Structure 1
């Protein structure tokens, strides 16, 4: 399903595209930069807040653009360090954005480092059997403005908790494109959104602090390798052999490891950056020691970092996480080979922080309310 909003979001405009629209209205070129400064630097949320613009121009902007194409529905805070924002779009679709805090000694939780996990689609078509995002299938792609708007909502939230030292600073430290959807299946909107996020007239956020995750769309990985902006890459691997990976990730049938690994190597060599291999540990599916050994060999070949993620339980799915002992034995195979590895501990389980869970629960509640 394709969604065409009544008015395009301002957050999807580049400096060039907005300048062109304004020029057609007889406005001087510098107006575009003024407007974008109000959005990204001063964080105004209404057209009337743009006080150095004339009333006729503000009226035209209001009639032409949606200022922020997403509204905050719910902000769930976990008992650990995770917040989940549930956002509603113009067609009432729901998406999730997650704030993951890394507590730092001596600065307090609010001032600690923050990684933001953003979504690129409403739902997902990839069909990974362990994931909540795809349980209801793919509804639609997000447009660039909807992707950018997620980060503005994070800024609004975090600015209230911890005021910025300087107006040009964003309120977080890293972005991971690992939320709902397959990012590279929405390639053009993704790149446009991240270009806006990176630009000095946008959020001015460094490309090296942005990681794009993919389930393994090989042609798009190769296309991403040609992009000038040096984003980081993470591969949702989750199986170290084709036999295991095909059981849980249908994408492996089109792009098996023999195609995927060379594409990842090409990206790494082009950008000179270590890639990350994401590996969700699922009990009796991919948590065996032979899988760990195969993963070790792949990571060594690619000079990759491995992120081991014990499975987050999803209502309606049968999968479980391995015991802590089994997790550690798996990780030790990698550690003993001096592979860079992180064994992640559970975050946000009490707020349904795994991709898509909160959205699905809210949609079910909506349906029950309507039916009742």
Structure 2
């Protein structure tokens, strides 16, 4: 059975060829699924009923069950907990940004795996077992969940996609790349690749593969410590791919694509927020085509980590600015609805 939501035009042409249908049917199917966002073959009004029956024997459209929808008090962050047909649950977050100096944005943060095998000690998702990779259709279903919400509440369409939800995107790279092309397709949602960001904890071989794909997406590397000792204590993957190798691969990505690499640095109180840590980070970022995203850490009770003191956060950012590093503090959203990856799923499972 072919999941139409994860199918590109070539997949659909193979399906129509198999069924001895005219080629234009493939484009019709693509339009209904990727532009209109139908959730069932029976909703395709210009496909004859008999043909709908034939297609239903060969294809389906992924439609996860919406378990919960949580909305922040500010109304700018909406979190969806979705369950797929085999029972696995993932989280998706829609964040709305109203701007005065630039256009408004509706950003959806998608998961790429159910669970995660990377074991980062501060991450709620990492505390759960790795269940499986998601399919391209399941990633697309998350975007369409957010898109339908935007339509229902008279918001503009989804404008940005960040692969920063549950799981390690580069551990599911072929599927992630397929979803990027589907989202970018002009006959679909037409989301610009420059408005997509892929996060990684530092899978070095896959960073090179992504660079060689030559797509103008943003690469975001989870750094979280300025040296190998500190990073290995937070992120076990650093023992396999140490900081020097990660930075070399990220530099290759920047050179190959001409795109600045974003380095994510979550500040944890008393762990990686000292003046010495700031000085080390300055040295790491010196002369790199990079942005540093400082993240006041979400407090995950099970991890024991705490958010930094406000004055420590301010001094840390000032230190980076003083040494010429392009650093910003990520805008906090959704703290009142467990918007950090994996928190809501763990809470629901615990009931």
TM-score band, normalised by shorter chain: over 0.9
Q: CA deviation at 1:337?
A: 1.9
- Which residue is equivalent to 2:37? 43
Q: Equivalent residue for 1:19?
A: 13
Give the Cα–Cα distance (whole angstroms) in 1 for the partners of residues 198 and 101 of structure 2. Answer: 31
Query: Any conservation in 2 of the 1:15–1:201 contact (CA below 8 Å)?
Result: no
Q: Structure 1: which 5+ residue stretches go unaligned?
A: 1-6, 165-170, 366-372
Give the secondary-structure state (helix, strand or coil) at the position aligned to 2:69: strand
2:318 aligns with 332
**CA apart distance, 1:307:** 0.5
In the alignment, which residue of structure 2 is the partner of 1:127? Answer: 119
TM-score using structure 1 length? 0.90
Q: Paired residue for 1:261? A: 247
Residue 232 (1) aligns with residue 218 (2): yes
CA distance in 1: counterparts of 2:148 and 2:313, whole angstroms:
38
The CA distance in 2 between the partners of 1:220 and 1:297, in whole Å, is 25
Per the TM alignment, residue 205 of structure 1 is displaced from its structure 2 partner at its CA by 1.5
CA contact (8 A) 1:218 1:259 kept: yes
1:368 match:
none
Structure 2 counterpart of 1:197: 183
Distance 1:103 1:231 in 2: 22
Change in Cα spacing, 1:249 to 1:163, as seen in structure 2 (3 Å) is: closer
Is residue 152 of structure 1 aligned with residue 144 of structure 2?
yes
Q: Tell me the distance in 2 between the aligned counterparts of 1:240 and 1:212.
A: 21
Residue 345 of structure 1 deviates from its aligned partner by 4.1
Cα contact 1:175–1:210 (8 A) shared by 2: yes
Measure how far apart 1:105 and its partner are: 4.7
Residue-by-residue CA offset, 1:142-180 (whole Å, 9 max, x unaligned): 01110111111111110111265xxxxxx1221110100
Tell me how far 1:70 sits from its aligned partner: 1.7
Task: Confirm or deny: 8 A CA contact 2:72 2:78 kept in the other structure.
Answer: yes
Note the C-alpha offset of 1:55.
Answer: 1.0
CA distance in 2, matches of 1:131, 1:356: 8
The answer to whether the Cα contact below 8 Å between 2:81 and 2:345 also exists between their aligned partners in 1 is yes
Kept after mapping to 1: 8 A contact 2:109/2:163: yes
Question: How far apart, in 2, do the equivalents of 1:61 and 1:327 lie?
Answer: 56
Residue of 55, 67, 78 corresponding to 2:61 = 67
1:94 and 1:12 map into 2 onto residues whose CA distance is 18
CA displacement, residues 310-363 of structure 1 (integer Å, 9 cap, x when unaligned): 111113221001110000011111111232111124321110001010111111
TM, length-normalised to structure 2: 0.96
User: SS where residue 36 of structure 1 aligns?
Assistant: helix
Q: State the shift of 1:258 in Å.
A: 1.4
Say which SS state the counterpart of residue 346 (structure 2) adopts: helix
> Matched residues in 2 for 1:250 and 1:31: separation?
49
- Whole-angstrom CA distance in 2 between matches of 1:17 and 1:44: 18
For residues 22-48 of structure 1, the C-alpha deviation after alignment (integer angstroms, 9 at most, x for no partner) is 111011111111111112222222322
Q: Counterpart of 1:97? A: 92
SS at match of 1:134: helix
Point out the more displaced range, 152-161 or 336-345. Answer: 336-345
- Between the aligned partners of 1:65 and 1:289, the Cα distance in structure 2 is 57
Residue from 118, 129, 140 that aligns with 1:137: 129
Task: Check whether the contact 1:70–1:90 (CA below 8 A) recurs between aligned residues.
Answer: yes
Q: Aligned residue pairs: how many?
A: 350
Q: Would you identify which runs of 4 or more consecutive aligned residues in structure 1 move more than 4 Å?
A: none
Question: What CA distance in whole angstroms lies between the structure 1 residues aligned with 2:11 and 2:160?
Answer: 27
Q: Given the superposition, is the C-alpha separation of residues 346 and 29 from structure 1 closer, same or farther in structure 2, using an over 3 Å criterion?
A: same
Name the counterpart of 1:78. 72
Aligned CA-pair RMSD = 1.7
Shift of 1:190: 1.1
Residue 290 (str. 1) matches residue 276 (str. 2):
yes
Q: What CA distance in whole angstroms lies between the structure 2 residues aligned with 1:61 and 1:254?
A: 46
195-204 vs 24-33, greater mean Cα deviation: 195-204
Structure 2: runs of 5+ lacking an equivalent: none
